[in-house]
């Protein structure tokens, strides 16, 4: 069995950045394992532009970003396997993968970084009543059919959920000649980036139905009609507001869930809100030696932040392999009022020069304050003109403010 | 006073433009340029795919080299739909030169290898 210092599962933006960073921090015995035929992950089907402003200081399309990131990996001659599916990880870090050329293989690692991405919530996950015809699919699946395979999935399209993939696909389907009849969002605000509302919906006069959802799907064999309906502030249907719309395609953009079956089997502790593993400031999970980054840790808005997170995970995994990671002074980081989750949820300040806490707020805020507390004592306050749940926020706290820690809390309050 | 959301980057700044073309609410200088452009002649980047006749991919992703006038989006899409390519082609190859005389090229955004 071949032994490596570090095995990275997933060759998307998170895994690639982690591999490059671990290598640059002195670890050369690395194997990255990717299930698809190309490095780059989901970026390859995201042919639109807007990627890379933070990482490369220019605006790239998804495939271009993937190409830049992969070339960093190739330049360092880091080992990687394509078309290879990891099917098991044992408690002593034996990783089993399979592929066509090598068949069933086992390799062993001192540390593992999981960068396995996320999956889309399905019709079943949100339980839309009605018939079960063809023509109902997730937006990302339609994106793959259209941008990678070259198949149009329909001509009269409705989109449920105003997540970014749904908005991007609304524009994409219109450009390819489909009629997009609308986007329904159950919340009273959109979950997509503002720029995507403007350039994907407003530009093409596609209506956005806020506080609306799909109440019923109708069709024998093929999708024929959907019934949309307004919801109240408890997200319940309002009787009498139903509207029937003739469509042949319903795309679902109703959220992404981190995908971690391999390490969930190992008993890694999962965060109830993010559905990804619980990690500390080093991106180490509850199982020492297993690290997590990217969309399998928590769903990001921007690939640039995935790359940054991968870079950190690679750096700390390298430290772990070199026995330089401290774990004896951990304190908790909690989400206070106005905050739905914080990441990381634990910190040992011996490992860091400054602490970055990522979080999302629970609802849209106008002028507001982000408050970080140590116990009951406020240690940092930041004024913000606005905050929305669809945009991940961060606070960075210098180490000199992190002395005598009890526990940390992040809050958002109206200004 | 006009209000708009900047689409230059995913940050999505909320911009306000007064009668004298003074822009506020922008995080970076590109917001000012965007706001003034958007009021006089709005432009957009377009991305799509073209058919691959021989190569390791079924579709090759492409983009405009610069933003194009908003009202030309569908005309440019029609030109992109006419194209068929053969590999190998390096990334950022010119697929259509000076599309519709707009001084904008259509370039590939992915490496296309031979089959």
Which of B10, B59, B111 minimises the CB distance to A195? B10
Nearest CA in chain A to B57: A148
Option in A150, A176, A302 nearest B58 (CB): A150
As a whole number of angstroms, the distance between CA A210 and CA A201 comes to 13
Chain A nearest-CA distance from B6, in A, is: 7
What tens digit of pLDDT does each residue of A256-301 get? 999 999 999 999 999 999 999 999 999 999 999 999 999 999 999 8
Superfamily of domain A122-254: FAD/NAD(P)-binding domain (3.50.50.60)
Cβ distance of B10 and A44 shorter than 8 Å: no
Mean local confidence (pLDDT), A149-166: 95
Looking at residue A241, what is its pLDDT?
97
> In the predicted model, what is the mean pLDDT of chain A?
95
Interchain CB contact of A205 with B (< 8 Å) = no
- CA gyration radius for chain A? 22
Beta-carbon contacts of residue A209 (< 8 Å; ≥ 6 apart): A182, A183, A184, A185, A228
Of the pLDDT bands very low, low, confident and very high (cuts 50, 70, 90), residue A171 is very high
Directed axis angle between helix B73-81 and helix A164-175, to 10°?
Answer: 70
Mean pLDDT of A23-44: 98
Class of B47-108 in CATH: alpha beta
What residue ranges of chain B are covered by domains with CATH 3.10.530.10?
A: 47-108
3-state secondary structure of B8: coil
Other beta carbons within 10 Å of B83 = 16
User: A199, B47: Cβ pair inside 8 Å?
Assistant: no
Domain covering A326-415 in this structure, CATH number: 2.60.40
Residue A203 in contact with partner chain B when CB distance is under 8 A: yes
Under 8 Å CB-to-CB from A257, ≥6 apart: which residues? Answer: A118, A119, A120, A121, A125, A275, A299
Fold of the domain built from segment(s) A1-120+256-325: FAD/NAD(P)-binding domain (3.50.50)
Mutation pick from A37, A44, A47 vs chain B, by most beta carbons of B within 10 Å, is A47
Phi, psi of A221 (to 5 degrees): 80, -65
pLDDT band at B7 (very low <50, low <70, confident <90, very high): confident
- Say yes or no to pLDDT of B10 above 70: no
Q: Is A48 on the interface with B (CB under 8 A)?
A: yes
pLDDT of residue A239: 96
A340 touches A362 (CB < 8 A) = yes
* Whether residue A198 has pLDDT greater than 80: yes
Whether pLDDT at A337 is above 90: yes
Quote the percentage of chain A above a pLDDT of 70: 100
B7·A198 Cβ contact <8 A: yes
Where do the structural domains in chain A lie, given as residue ranges? 1-120+256-325, 122-254, 326-415
Rg (CA), chain B: 18
Please state, in angstroms and rounded to a whole number, the distance separating the CA atoms of residues A214 and B107.
Answer: 39
In the predicted structure, residue A128 carries a pLDDT above the cut 80: yes
Q: CA nearest A361: which of A415, A281, A397?
A: A415
**Count of A-B CB contacts under 8 Å:** 81
Interface of B with A (CB under 8 A): 4-12, 14, 44-49, 51, 57-59, 61, 63, 70, 73-74, 77, 91-92, 109-111
Phi, psi angles (nearest 5°) of residue B53: -85, -40
| DSSP per position, A206-263 | --EEETEEEEEEE-SSB--EEEEEEB-TTS-B-TT--EEEE-SEEEE---EEE--HHH
The C-alpha atoms of residue B12 and residue B106 are separated, in whole angstroms, by 26
What is the per-residue pLDDT across A61-117, written as a single tens digit (0 to 9) for each? 999 999 999 999 999 999 999 999 999 999 999 999 999 999 999 999 999 999 999
Substitution target in B10, B77, B112 with the highest count of A β-carbons within 10 Å is B10
Instruction: List, for residues A217-259, the tens digit of each pLDDT value.
Output: 999 999 999 999 999 999 999 999 999 999 999 999 999 999 9
Does the pLDDT of residue B66 top 90, yes or no?
yes
C-beta atoms of B5 and A48 within 8 A:
no
A391-A162-B81 Cα angle (round to 5): 110
- Chain A, residues 296-355, CB within 8 A of chain B, namely 301-302
Mean pLDDT for A158-166 is 93
pLDDT tens-place string over residues A365-412:
888 999 999 999 999 999 998 888 888 999 999 999 998 999 999 999
Give the ipTM of the model, two decimals please: 0.91
Give the one of B10, B59, B109 whose C-beta lies nearest to A61's C-beta: B109
pLDDT digits (tens, 9 = 90+) for A51-70: 998 889 888 999 999 999 99
Residues A301-330 have pLDDT tens digits of: 899 999 999 999 999 999 999 999 998 889
């Amino acid at each position: 069995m071949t032994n490596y210092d570090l095995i990275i599962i997933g060759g998307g933006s998170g895994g690639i950045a982690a591999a490059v960073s671990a290598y640059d921090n002195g670890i050369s015995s690395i194997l990255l394992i990717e299930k698809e035929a190309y490095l780059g992950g989901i970026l390859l089907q995201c042919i639109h532009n807007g990627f890379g402003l933070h990482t490369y200081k220019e605006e790239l399309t998804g495939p271009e970003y993937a190409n830049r990131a992969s070339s960093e990996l190739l330049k360092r001659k880091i080992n990687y396997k394509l078309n290879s599916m990891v099917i098991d990880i044992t408690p002593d870090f034996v990783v089993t993968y399979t592929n066509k050329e090598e068949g069933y293989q086992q390799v062993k690692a001192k540390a593992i970084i999981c960068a396995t991405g996320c999956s889309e919530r399905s019709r079943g996950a949100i339980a839309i009543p009605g018939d079960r015809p063809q023509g109902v699919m997730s937006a990302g699946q339609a994106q793959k059919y259209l941008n990678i395979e070259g198949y149009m999935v329909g001509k009269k399209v409705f989109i449920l959920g105003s997540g970014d993939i749904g908005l991007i696909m609304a524009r994409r389907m219109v450009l390819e000649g489909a009629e997009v009849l609308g986007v329904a969002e159950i919340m009273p605000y959109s979950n997509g980036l503002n720029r995507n509302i403007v350039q994907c919906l407003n530009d093409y006069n596609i209506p956005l139905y806020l506080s609306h959802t799909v109440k019923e799907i109708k069709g024998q064999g093929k999708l024929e009609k959907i019934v949309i309906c307004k919801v109240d502030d408890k997200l319940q249907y309002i009787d009498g507001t139903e509207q029937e719309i003739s469509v042949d395609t319903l795309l679902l953009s109703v959220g992404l869930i981190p995908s971690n079956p391999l390490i969930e089997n190992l008993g890694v502790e999962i965060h109830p809100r993010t559905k990804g593993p619980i990690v500390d400031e080093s991106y180490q999970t509850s199982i020492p030696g297993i690290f997590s980054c990217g969309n399998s840790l928590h769903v990001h808005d921007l690939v640039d932040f995935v790359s940054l997170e991968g870079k950190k995970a690679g750096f700390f995994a390298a430290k772990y392999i070199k026995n330089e990671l401290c774990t004896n002074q951990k304190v908790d980081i909690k989400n206070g009022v106005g905050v739905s989750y914080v990441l990381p949820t634990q910190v040992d300040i011996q490992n860091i020069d400054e602490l970055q806490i990522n979080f999302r707020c629970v609802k849209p805020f106008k002028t507001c304050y982000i408050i970080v507390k140590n116990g009951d004592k406020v240690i940092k306050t930041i004024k913000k003109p606005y905050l929305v749940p669809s945009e991940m926020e961060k606070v960075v706290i210098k180490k000199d403010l992190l002395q005598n820690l009890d526990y940390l809390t992040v809050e958002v309050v109206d200004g | 006073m006009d209000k708009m959301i900047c689409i230059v980057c995913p940050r999505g700044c909320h911009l306000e433009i007064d009668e004298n073309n003074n822009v506020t609410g922008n995080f970076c200088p590109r917001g000012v340029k965007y706001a003034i452009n958007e009021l006089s002649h709005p432009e957009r980047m377009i991305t799509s795919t073209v058919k691959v006749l021989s190569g390791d991919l079924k579709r090759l992703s492409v983009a405009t080299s610069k933003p194009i006038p908003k009202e030309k989006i569908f005309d440019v899409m029609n030109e992109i739909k006419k194209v068929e390519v053969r590999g190998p082609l390096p990334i950022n190859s010119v697929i259509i030169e000076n599309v519709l005389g707009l001084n904008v090229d259509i370039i590939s955004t992915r490496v296309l290898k031979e089959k």
